[in-house]
Amino acid sequence: MFCVPCRTKKYEFDAELGANWVGDKRVKGDKATPEGMYKITKKFDGGRTKYYKALLLDYPNDEDKRRFRSEIENGSLPASAKIGGLIEIHGNGGKGIDWTEGCIALTDREIEVVYRNVKVGTPVTIVGSVVDLQNAMNR
């Protein structure tokens, strides 16, 4: 689910997440969508993105970097692991499955609404699911 703005719900959209949305985002290429609090850092349209429109998030933020370093230090991730980046809210969604590399996909009509209503610096909170895994799998 994706809501704009969060203070008072004005719009709500079904979002498509990373193919591994049920897992924590740990490393580059794990196809998991990060959960946490982020900000929009750039807005892309036209030829500046391969999608209809896109909003770049500040992943990895300081909290993500701290967690990542901690996992490398305690050996739960190899020293050669990379944290990744380039997480966006973007168009080209509407496939009905979770398919992204870790981004949040909306239909082009929906990203148009979001794009018009947000600016650089807008806070974004990503929550992978508002239901537990068992209930999500039964849907």
Residue 38 CB: number of other CB atoms within 10 A? 22
| Domain region containing 110 | 2-137
Across the chain, what does the average pLDDT equal? 88
- Tell me how far CA of residue 84 lies from CA of 27, 101, 130, in angstroms: 6, 11, 25
Q: Quick check: helix, strand or coil at residue 96? A: coil
Give the predicted TM-score (pTM) of the model: 0.84
Tell me what percent of the residues of the chain surpass a pLDDT of 70. 86
Task: Specify the number of domains making up the chain.
Answer: 1
CATH number for the domain including 69?
2.40.440.10
pLDDT at res. 127: 82
